[in-house]
Amino acid sequence: MTTYTFKPDVALETDLFIKEYIETIESVDKSYKEEAKNYCDKLAVPPGALGQVAEVYQRLYEIGKGSVQVDKPGVLVYVSDNGVVQAGVSNNPVITTYQVAENMLEGKATISLLTKHSNSDLEIVDLGCLTDLSSGTTYKISHGTKNFNEEPAMTREQAGQAIIAGIKITEKQIEKGWNIVGTGEMGVGNTTTSAAVISTILGTDIKETIGLGAGLDKAGRMRKEQVITESALKHQPFRDGLDIASKIGGYDILGIAGTFLACAKHKVPCVIDGVISMAGMLVAQTIEPKIIEIAFASHISMEPGYQKALTHTKLQPLFYLDMRLGEGSGCPFLFQFMETAKFTIENMVDFDKAGLTVDDYVDIRVEN
């Protein structure tokens, strides 16, 4: 397996910006997680009984350097069209990207309802929609990417621009007070780009990462496999993760990667939705491995590429919802879980106040 690391092109201002940016990213202080664990172990429940409630709280405490702030969550949805749909990898018409994004802006899409119900913010970011959106935030790099079955999806400079756009919009939202950031997307063909990126970064057979996307039959899935296989061979060798994403990826994946980098710098928890978000996380990890420290997986996507990448990251999703929607739809569920974990743990009594003795329990986390 090839391990891809960021190899900046010194002739490109975008690469130099990314290089200088990741040099400012520091690891989380792991002593805070130990402090949180010690606190949780004094709570009046059998040791280890809180499971992921305690684990998520401890990770949030670690990222927040002794403070858990989850009252201002938001989801960034990156919108972009993918030229590879011209190769017949999707049953959806290209205009779907624009129409669903407009539905998001009008509050009619699923992610709009989920964020509203969870009291979360929602920001729609146009990186490369073929049709300009009526509102939202625009960091338009181009009107869609190229068909990577014939040529690279974008230039390396455009890929860098997409990452920098992700960084800038994320920092803007953090300045507004967002203290959890969810990652979402909208773009016909982006399960194809994600499968291509994930299989190449992980060095796995494409058969292990491609799924049915928004809805393909057996023939469509075979076409998808053929296109990705041909394209990956055509564009080899790959210089680094940014090179992979520029040749066979999409702007949404790269925008998400930028969000992870910004969250890692500012120590803000960042949430993965599905396979496209996971592809963005893998690209960001090839640029700066420390981003995994602030990453949370919300639910288990039904896309095979997601599940393959999950094994690589060792992240623990909280929900099995049998979902394959995208849009960032898994993030609000985790936002509410995080809020519940904070409220529960910070309001529980310890063994002394409960009139109980910890020695009367067996720690189920320790082999006996």
d(CA 332, CA 52): 17
Query: What dihedral do alpha carbons 73, 305, 266, 316 form, nearest 10°?
Result: 70
List, in order, residues 6 or more apart from 299 with CB less than 8 Å away.
273, 274, 317, 318, 319, 320, 321, 323, 330, 333, 334
Beta strand 180-186 with 73-80 is parallel
**Active-site choice (327, 339, 346, 367):** 327
Q: Is 123 helix (H, G, I), strand (E, B) or coil?
A: strand
The helix (H) or strand (E) run that includes residue 73 is: strand 73-80
Does residue 23 carry a catalytic annotation?
no
Q: What are phi and psi of 286, to 5 degrees?
A: -70, -20
Peptide bond into 237 cis (omega under 30): yes
List, in order, residues 6 or more apart from 70 with CB less than 8 Å away.
60, 179, 180, 269, 335, 338, 339, 342
| Among 295, 287, 292, 293, CA closest to 21 | 287
Q: Which two tokens mark 338? A: 């995080």
Q: What are phi and psi of 291, to 5 degrees?
A: -65, -25
- H helices within the chain, ranges in order? 13-22, 31-41, 51-63, 95-105, 110-117, 156-175, 190-202, 218-235, 241-248, 251-266, 275-287, 304-313, 331-347, 351-354
DSSP 151-214: S-SS-HHHHHHHHHHHHHHHHHHHHTT--EEEEEEE-TTHHHHHHHHHHHHHT--GGGT---TT
Q: Is 360 exposed, middle or buried (0-12, 13-18, 19+ CB in 10 A)?
A: exposed
Which residues are designated catalytic? 327
